[in-house]
Amino acid sequence: MKVYKIVGMMSGTSLDGLDLAYCHIWKNKGKWTFEIKCTDSVSYDQKMEKELKDAIHLPAEKLLQLHNSYGTWLGEKANSFITDNDLEVDFIASHGHTSHHRPELGLTFQLGSGQHLANASQKKVICDFRTNDLALGGQGAPLVPIGDQLIFGEYDFCLNLGGISNISFEVKDRRIAYDIGLANMILNYITRKIDLDYDQDGNMARSGVINKNMLKELNDLKYYLLPYPKSIGYEWFLEEVVPIVENTDDTIENLLHTSIHHICEKIAQQVSLNSNKQKQQLFITGGGALNSFLIETLKQKLDPKIEVVVPNKQLIEFKEALVFALMGALREEREINVLKTVTGAKRDSSSGVIFLPN
């Protein structure tokens, strides 16, 4: 039985840093199984956070320079992680950091050059998991649902609360998944106005009240009316959401409180639409699962038959890095790792580009 020893790496839209998870992944009686051996999170300094956030505005040559330098940085961080923990590694599976996501134009771009990463880490690298799906007519996102299907399939719904909220579930043996809408991206945007990275446990949000005009504006965003498959990126947030926040004259507490009610209303709406009205489980991971006010609010808005399952902190924070490790293992086995039912592509694919160190 082949056990893959992989470092999965993920940087999310909330820009809270780089997640690394060293995973052992293997197939047992036809089912993929995992063990997370050790993890680390590397926060971005102010300079890098600003570079990544502003990458969307860069001219092509500057964007490619950042792509290469960030790839080297990823490789250095991976190398330190491997060395410090004395890890035996088959390869690194890296998502990179999404700077552009415009599937309607047939493009998405993940910063973090695979060759620079491989050279800096001196390890084989599998990355760029999205481009092949775009070439097949898909959105290149979301990608995590393959992990939901293969290793978290006992749950009726898998919800990720990163910068964006996305959900996946089975309908007649087909995995369906899409970005619901906002999550930490709007909350972190608001707290950064007062130089806070995030609202610990949602305590500031808890002390606020709903701003009805803001809630209505957020709820009326046209994206929510689109059918799936659908996905959003930072561009949508800048164009559609930031003006609503900036044009609302209210306290930080009220902005946060209103945003959480919006996030939870939209999630509850989608769970309700796709629920069979029986007792079902909603498995929640991503940084938003650590926001106790958000989870309490969501429970209030969900049907009582929906049981909310929040796993241990390691899985909450590193599930996406784990899934990219799994996607790397699937790529090695030439098995499907991107689902057409999720992305809207012509067919399923085994995606990811392999880079060897020089």
Choose among 6, 43, 10: nearest CA to 23. 6
Give the DSSP per-residue string, 48-88.
HHHHHHHGGG--HHHHHHHHHHHHHHHHHHHHHHHHHTT--
Predicted structure pTM score: 0.93
> What is the per-residue pLDDT for 211?
98
pLDDT at 73 over 80: yes
The whole-angstrom separation of Cα 278 and Cα 83 is: 49
Q: Which residues contact 237 (CB under 8 A, 6 or more apart)?
A: 182, 185, 186, 189
Two structure tokens written together for 322: 């784990």
- Rounded to an integer, the average pLDDT of 16-28 is 95
> What is the per-residue pLDDT for 249?
98
Which 8-state DSSP code applies to residue 176?
E
CA 230, 321, 265 angle in degrees (round to 5)?
40
Contact 347, 323 (CB under 8 A): no
The whole-angstrom separation of Cα 315 and Cα 251 is: 33
Mean pLDDT is lowest, of 3-17, 79-93, 148-162, 337-351, for 3-17
> What is the per-residue pLDDT for 13?
78
The string of pLDDT tens digits covering residues 110-169 is 999 999 999 999 999 999 999 999 999 999 999 999 999 999 999 999 999 999 999 999
Residue 158 main-chain phi, psi, to 5 deg:
-115, 120
The string of pLDDT tens digits covering residues 163-190 is 999 999 999 989 999 999 999 999 999 9
Contact 133, 140 (CB under 8 A): yes
The whole-angstrom separation of Cα 200 and Cα 196 is: 9
Cβ burial of 4 (10 Å; 0-12, 13-18, 19+) is buried
Residue 25 main-chain phi, psi, to 5 deg:
-130, 130
Amino acid identity of residue 50, one-letter, is K
Reported as a pLDDT band with limits 50, 70 and 90, residue 15 is confident
Over the range 122-142, which residues count as b (16 or more CB within 10 Å of their CB) and which as e? ebbbbbbbbbbbbebebbbbb
Choose among 255, 213, 130, 230: nearest CA to 176. 230
Cβ burial of 24 (10 Å; 0-12, 13-18, 19+) is middle
The string of pLDDT tens digits covering residues 199-239 is 999 999 999 999 999 999 999 999 999 999 999 999 999 99
Q: Which residues contact 12 (CB under 8 A, 6 or more apart)?
A: 19, 162, 163, 286, 287, 320
Which contiguous run of DSSP H or E holds residue 40? Answer: strand 31-42
